[in-house]
Amino acid sequence: MPDSSTTFTSTPATDDLGQLESGLDNLETGSRQRPSIKSSILKLLSPLIAIVAVIAIWQFIIYLQWQPEWIIPSPKAVLDSLGAQAEQDILWQATFGSIKRAAQGFVIALLVAVPIGLALGLNKYLRAIFGPLLTGLQQLPSVAWVPAAIIWFGLSDATIYTVILLGAVPSIANGLISGMDQIPTLYLRAGQVLGATGWKKIRHIVLPAAWPGFLAGLEQGWAFAWRSLMAAELIAVSPALGLGLGQMLDIGRQLGDMALVLGSIIMIMAVGVLVDRLIFSPLRQRTLRNRGLAR
């Protein structure tokens, strides 16, 4: 007759059953494959091929002398222009100014979007009422808000952050909602059996289970925040706003300096790629690997 307490004293795995099971376990789980150093380096360097190819084609067009230098400047002219901006400290001020603004805007967008996403993901009535509005906002290019924001807030930081928020919040919130929609019922049932209710259910079951979809929303939200910021900086130019890549681009336009225009565009793209490579791509890889979804 077993006693009624459910406390347990551990049995060392030296018994017969333990040996059998650990033998079978070893047979059934193969050794883990780690990616080799060679393949990691290859993966890191392969985007360079595209960059080299683009520069080669570009240089070839210059070599043909098809258009004058002030319409299509050479790669070297663009590099020199960026170098000149760097010497005056403008390049780094502009780049870090923009990154800082985008990052701050993104964090605020996150704080606004998560409660909205949770509320709409958990409550089907709120979802029915506000879902279409959110999707409408997501479809609308947030540049469209720049004129309105300037009228409301003038040429101030508030204008810039408004545009970033309107760009990023709908994507992040919708990402969280679709992540929640994709949670397999099994996890919710298991959570229920484990006694996860209320905030604990959200914290320990819903949010982690929704993470892959939410991460996709974060990536899109970042892309929208960055784009919106560039659009806002390009349109709302004022000494009061400080320097950003958008403003640098606008200075190039005003001076008719095509090398600076192209240089600014390259910097805007480079920041986008770097943020993906350094933040989102590792997060994505880690998520897929941890959940056994990596191929």
Give the interface with another protein as residue ranges (CB under 8 A): 1-13, 17-18, 20-22, 24-25, 28-29, 32, 186-187, 189-190, 192-196, 200, 204-205, 208-209, 211, 290-292
Cβ–Cβ < 8 Å for 117, 130 = no
The nearest distance, CB 109 to another protein, in angstroms, is 24
Q: Label each residue of 38-69 as H, E or C.
A: HHHHHHHHHHHHHHHHHHHHHHHHHHHCCCCC
The nearest distance, CB 207 to another protein, in angstroms, is 10
Instruction: Give dist(CA 8, CA 12) in Å, integer.
Output: 12
The nearest distance, CB 43 to another protein, in angstroms, is 22
Q: Torsion angle of alpha carbons 160, 165, 166, 170, nearest 10°?
A: 160
Choice between 30 and 68, CB closer to another protein: 30
Cβ–Cβ < 8 Å for 247, 237 = yes
The nearest distance, CB 54 to another protein, in angstroms, is 39
Choice between 19 and 281, CB closer to another protein: 19
Query: Using a CB cutoff of 8 Å and minimum separation of 24, what contacts does 268-272 make?
Result: 268/226, 268/230, 271/95, 271/98, 271/99, 271/226, 271/245, 272/223, 272/226
Q: How crowded is residue 288: how many other Cβ atoms within 10 Å of its Cβ?
A: 14
Choice between 22 and 67, CB closer to another protein: 22
The nearest distance, CB 188 to another protein, in angstroms, is 10
Question: What 3-state DSSP class applies to 181?
Answer: helix
Choice between 100 and 200, CB closer to another protein: 200
Give me 70's structure tokens. 């002030």
Choice between 145 and 214, CB closer to another protein: 214
Choice between 192 and 254, CB closer to another protein: 192
The nearest distance, CB 201 to another protein, in angstroms, is 9
Choice between 180 and 251, CB closer to another protein: 180
Instruction: Give dist(CA 178, CA 218) in Å, integer.
Output: 12
The nearest distance, CB 35 to another protein, in angstroms, is 16
